Amino acid sequence: MAMTHLDKKSIKVDFDTTELNSQQIRLIKSICTMLNHVLVTDDEGEYFDGSAELMRMVASAVKQANFTTEWAENQQIPYAQQALEFCIDMVSDQMYQDDIIKHDN
């Protein structure tokens, strides 16, 4: 993923989709659309429902990651579930902190 254009009106994000299937590509598009919606909505219901849907889609992307199929010989290890549990722990830790994570490029 590479940021190619940044100004105050739009951000263009490029993804290398060479190793992604069509479902993964659609999911990326949906995640980006929902993220934008959550960031700009002024409706409480849309904010909460959209946030929940965004997190659900991100969890789905983690489950569909190529990693889980590349390590298929270890099927007894639930990699996607473990990764999501790790993420939930990290998000839970961040949720109650006053600091906002800032990513400045």
* Stated pTM of the model: 0.78
Structure tokens at 64: 């569909």
Query: pLDDT tens digits for 48-67?
Result: 999 999 999 999 999 999 88
Cα-based distances in Å from 82 to 12, 28, 75, 91 = 32, 21, 13, 14
**pLDDT for residue 39 is more than 60:** yes
**Residue linked to tokens 């949906």:** 30
- Domain residue spans in the chain? 23-95
54: buried, middle or exposed (CB in 10 Å: 19+, 13-18, 0-12)? buried
